Chains A and B, each alone.
Chain A
Amino acid sequence: MNDTILSVLIFTALALAALGAVKRIGLWRQGRADATSMSVGELIASLAKVPRRYGVDLHHVVARDRYMANTHVATGGGFVAAALLMVVVYGFGIDSAWLGVLLLLASGAMFGGALFVRRRRLDPPARLSRGPWMRLPKSLLVFSASLFVMSLSLVLPEGVGGMISGGILGLVLVAGIAWGLLEMIVGMTGGGSRITGPTKHAFAGALHLAFHRRPARFSTRDSAGIRDSALLPLDLTNPEAPLGVGKPSDFNWRQLLGFDACVQCGRCEAVCPAFAAGQPLNPKKLIQDMVVGMAGGSDAAYAGSPYPGDEPRRAPGQHGGGPQQTIVGASPHARPAAQAVDSDSQTVASGPIQMKAAPGAAGEATDGDKLIHEFKVLVEPETLWACTTCRACVEECPMMIEHVDAIVDMRRHMTLEQGATPGKGVEVLDNLIATDNPGGFALEARLHWAADLDLPRIAELQAAREAARDPRPVEALLWLGDGAFDMRNQRTLRAFVQVLRAARVDFAILGAEERDSGDVARRLGDEATFQSLATRNIATLSKYRFARIITCDPHSFHVLGREYAAFGGDYLVNHHTSYMNELLAAGRLSLDATRLATLGAVTWHDPCYLGRYNGEFEAPRSLLAALGLEVREMQRSGFRSRCCGGGGGAPVTDIPGKQRIPDMRMGDVRETGAEVVAVGCPQCTAMLEGVVAPAGEAEPQVLDLAELMARALVLEASTQGLATSTTQPTDAEVAA
């Protein structure tokens, strides 16, 4: 009789799961459709990619945590096998001792895995969500134990088996299995209800792998996946299309599906620099908020770490929304992040949320609470503006979710539709619009630091070559970037020019024709300004012939090399560390490493836009090795490097937190005991140099790799340029 009950249970569970799946798919389809609809064949082809994407790409991320990878294989794999076997054995009534043995193995493995799940849940790290996840090990254990014992009845002699499967024990086992099916199968999709369980990630996750918005991230049989990190362009030509994402239904459906795949493991939270700095961002909570918005409701059920900050409005249940409701609210008073105090009403407008400033009076506090509820929003703007776009969350996400895309999509709405860019963001965008650079300088000023270097302008060089019928393209076009306006970065540029001259590189600059790459505009959501800069830069570049572009700025490197392609700009772009490494390998540079002998140990800070965005981890390390320096790696380096806090416009939006991101990063540097932190990005240089050492501690020196190289250059007499005839140029000379 229990077999019948089990059969009914299984099919009921599957039916409920299917019902829930339809509803869930309906939620995702609230999002915007693709430009072209998918054929059935494409749908099947997409689904067929899941096993490889799961087994190879996703596993590659999961396997970074061996403990959980093995636990997951045993638990998840055991459950899937057990569920399939149950369908065969109980659903279709195919009774065989062999199947019983397999069921025992599957449920046993699951039980084993579940023990490890439970062990981790005894004292779970803060990044893990609680709530239903605390229940999960119990569900897993009860189910797997029940199924194991129940399966014994299939392999043991009839009499013994009957004793197990029949009677009270049998009922208890069935109940245990039912619990498990409810948790694992029904919970996967919610069975048509609003309540889903932890296993939702398996269902949505598998489909997310199939329909991921960035297929290039995944490997195929023929090629490895790439770091597909270029932001996707916004279609500014379609008057119907929303400018960015203002409400959950503005997301592409694949993004909504991706949010639903979140397993709340909190790996993103653990690596997020803004979260660690106490800024009001937690990538995991943000994704969960998107799920709340997609399904409608409040965040009361969220059981993970909140957005940092101790204001009452951070408490669970204070935020909510729906698929058609604006995410950050569209208050007419919207002045995000900037706190405007209206002196008459004593009302503090903080973002779109109106709160009574309660000067200690209990009655007024109640009013304030009421106001919060009346103006309930899904996410507060400062959460979105706290992101440095460092992609650490994306890098760590085992479900391949694209947090940064989502954040930039929402920023686009806030900037383009609401004009609500916070802090100095407005000024920077205004400057970019008016002057083509974020500082509002005259474009000629980009070259002020180089007045004494006689850098060749590509226009003049090309004209001269054309006149001389010299067909050579310029070997390298040096893209100066906006660091050229910054006195500190000018030293880096001067050092790099010295390296180029020492290697006799045939290089030129655009001069006043160079505009900002558009990086900051794009990360601040001003896609229109970005596209305007990009198309004009591309038009300029198209006039000239050069073999490649080189730059000391990873942001320019990324934008020119990766993001201009969508607008017809296809260039070979090298970061200066890669290029110097190439020059060195080609024997075009000669170094005297003894010159750096007194420098001390060095650590390399991987810039996000060089490393995580573009996968260049080796060239800088190989240069440091060639310089004979003792390199000490920070605990968080390479693809796990911690952001300096300078990306994504974060320095201009300047969302307050408990500590500063660069302070934490310099803490990482000091931990290594290195006396120098080598950098390769103007932003990182500025952020890290701005750190003041704790009292009594020496601050490590921040030096760009170009500066280190310049110090070790062995110059031939004719390439000296800046140097005296007898001695190596001092820093003062390079700076001057």
Chain B
Amino acid sequence: MAFDALFQPIEIGKLTIRNRVVSTAHAEVYATDGGMTTERYVRYYEEKAKGGCGLCICGGSSVVSIDSPQGWWSSVNLSTDRIIPHFQNLADAVHKHGGKIMIQITHMGRRSRWDGFDWTSLMSPSGIREPVHRSTCKTIEVEEIQRIIADFAQAARRAKEGGLDGVELSAVHQHLIDQFWSPRVNKRTDEWGGSFEGRMKFGLEVLKAVRAEVGDDFVVGMRICGDEFHPDGLSHDDMKQIAAYYDATGLLDFFGVIGSGCDTHNSLANVIPNMSYPPEPFLHLASGIKEVVSIPVIHAQNIKDPNQAERILEGGYVDMVGMTRAHIADPHIIAKIKMGQLDQIKQCVGANYCIDRQYQGLDVLCIQNAATSREYMGLPHQIEKTSGPVRKVVIVGGGPAGMEAARVCAERGHDVTLFEARDELGGQITIAAKAPQRDQIAGITRWYQLELARLKVDLRLGTRADEATIRDLRGDVVILAVGGRPFMDQFASWGYDEDPAKSLIVSSWDVLDGRVAPGSNVLIYDSICEFSGVSVADYLADKGARVEIVTDDIKPGAAVGGTTFPTYYRSLYAKEVVMTSDMVLHEVYREGEGLVAVLENEYTGTLEERVVDQIVVENGVRPDEALYYAFKDGSLNKGQIDVESLYAIKPQPCLSQATEGNDYLLFRLGDCNAPRNTHAAIYDALRLCKDF
């Protein structure tokens, strides 16, 4: 019996969970209707239950009180009875498939924003400002404490009345309960602070009130961290003491444990470890807590692979594994394990597109799975075979858009040929994976490679398809996803030339791809401030170059998400990379053996010069449109995508036109249309091709 530890049911309180896999609480940003669990929300969790997930804990940071604002992250609002019927929909949808569902409830205290919605007076034990949200707050009063304790109990009642299986009290991520715990935030000298018992009191009163309200027949758990990783914060030993203290009350049914506090940018990055982290980096902390408690312990942090999960459970480190991002990437992960389709699992690569959107208050989406959370729109995780005509589909370009288009068309049962000029699939993903700590992003390509092979797509690698080759294949549909090229010639003063021998600047692609040897004294000019610039800086520094990265924007890497820029900065600062903001690359010229970069201060116009031996410019991508215009006029649809149908997830009207003889439909996807990102390319490919 394979994966027998993973598939061993477990009792939590009086609840039987069918396996050991949990989708742990995360903020979905889908509760858009004033914090109600909308259809989108329900379908998102239903898909996980359908796919076999044992337990879903939904609603990361769902609020119990009106003065813990939910609007910033569209989190679930349990402060009103209006939520109850919405919960009933949610519970039914998950239970129907044999899954169980609980919700995380919390009061976030100071960890929020006040400058919107109700213009809340945020509260915390001692009124100390929180750095991550730049949030100032008041010192909470006893009356407020008592009200919030009652709010917790009412919220738990609403969850129970809504048919959910339990609640998880959030005492993690520096919410109100653990704000009281932490001596770094709680400086009170009254009964709600000071001594250990004093700091524990708020959480204990909450727990007592909740249990009193819901009785024994409802699961109540608590999520805690295993170590705040702050010198003045709660250590692992402190956390063991706290866990044992609450466990001893007998009021709790489980603990969820993660590593690291998160009230600074740097510690936040630990909480949702991106691809630069090793697998399960903080398992030892959860395991340490398990040592001192008597109830099941759940741990989630970088557990993405079924074998890894099985190993953790088999070793008895914890009782249940959280595979949350793993489910965002592939909600059918459990079913695929059971069907013996391990190779078909779309594995999370740790790009953290999901969580980085969440921290910006945007809905959680997966970089590589465009169907996730769009189930309600009719975007499928499993593509059905067409019942209409089987078409010959010719796709040019094996980047994300081309690969997804090929996969979807092949799943539909069409005859698919995919051209890729390089010897391998992946497009810009391949280049991105060359940077230090970024190799795992190639996992996106690896999945497509396996899928396209399984679907028997005719792959023509190392073949730059020209017009004649494409026409020879007489495709019914031609999809161009040829991408673009670095935008190097925006300003003549940069001295770019197509002849590398004459060009004064090189692109980040050239450097990462190894086409250009790293210089020893390099200036990177990054006007984009996303992954590419900091990646190439990290890469060059790693090769031993002295690197200065200059941008005219706020800061290099400014557009990289909140859980990833810290890991870049850790690396760049350690390698003594100089980060310079607010400077435009004005001009480049050669002087002797060296190059001179003239930088102009955005705000003062002052010019500065740098003498270096290599200048790398990262200035985004220009689409490659030549092939498109060669085919456009001859196509039935003149290359146009009907956006109304596309956005409504409806079939393109031109599909009903019969293609005969040399007729063909033409579409373009990804950067060769408009340079955006991986998710955009995959989303467009999926919604366009799913009805072919």
Contacts and interface: CB of A to CB of B under 8 A. Distances in A.
Nearest to A727: B50
Interface string A699-736: 00000000000000000000010111100001111011
B96 A725 contact: yes
Nearest to B4: A445
A569 B589 CA distance: 97
Contacts of A598: 385
B5 to A, nearest CB: 10
Interface string A329-347: 0000000000000000000
Contacts of A445: 1, 4, 8
Interface stretch (A369-377, A484-492, A617-625): A484-492
A398 to B, nearest CB: 43
B151 interface: no
Given A445-B1, A732-B52, A733-B50, A451 B19 contact: yes
A491 B4 contact: no
Nearest to B96: A724
Contacts of A736: 49-52, 97-98, 334-335, 338
A222 interface: no
B98 A452 contact: yes
How many of chain B's residues touch chain A, expressed as a range?
20 to 34
A448 interface: yes
Nearest to B46: A724
Interface string B1-14: 11110011100000
Nearest to A440: B1
B339 interface: yes
A733 B97 contact: yes
Contact of B98 (A453, A491, A725): A453
A487 B382 CA distance: 21
Contacts of A449: 7
Contacts of B3: 487
Interface in A650-700: 689
B138 interface: no
Contacts of A723: 96
Interface string A159-192: 0000000000000000000000000000000000
A567 interface: no
Contact of B99 (A448, A452, A720, A732): A452
B4 A451 contact: no
A11 interface: no
Contacts of B9: 448, 451
B19 A441 contact: no
Interface in B15-36: 16-19
B332 interface: yes
B1 A732 contact: no
Interface in B77-127: 96-99
B338 A448 contact: no
A485 B7 CA distance: 11
A439 interface: yes
Given A598-B385, A736-B52, A736-B97, A486 B1 contact: yes
A731 B335 CA distance: 8
Task: Choose among A439, A441, A451, A453 the residue with the greatest number of B CB atoms under 10 Å from its CB.
Answer: A451
A598 B8 CA distance: 35
Contacts of A441: 1, 4
A299 to B, nearest CB: 44
A47 B3 CA distance: 60
A386 to B, nearest CB: 27
Nearest to B8: A448
A730 B381 CA distance: 11
Contacts of B335: 731-733, 735-736
A452 B53 CA distance: 11
Contacts of A491: 338-339
B340 interface: yes
A724 B49 CA distance: 11
A485 B18 contact: no
Contacts of A453: 98
Interface string A411-455: 000000000000000000000000000010100010011011100
Given A724-B46, A736-B335, A487 B340 contact: yes
Centre residue among B4, B337, B385 by max chain A CB count within 10 A: B4
Given A485-B1, A725-B96, A732-B339, 11 more contacts: A445-B4, A448-B4, A449-B7, A452-B98, A452-B99, A487-B340, A488-B340, A724-B50, A724-B97, A732-B335, A732-B336
26 contacts: A441-B4, A445-B1, A448-B4, A449-B7, A485-B1, A487-B1, A487-B337, A487-B338, A487-B340, A488-B340, A491-B339, A598-B385, A722-B98, A724-B46, A724-B96, A724-B97, A731-B335, A732-B335, A732-B339, A733-B97, A733-B335, A735-B52, A735-B339, A736-B49, A736-B97, A736-B338
Return the 7 tightest CB-CB contacts between A and B, nearest first.
A452-B98, A736-B52, A451-B9, A732-B335, A451-B18, A452-B18, A735-B338
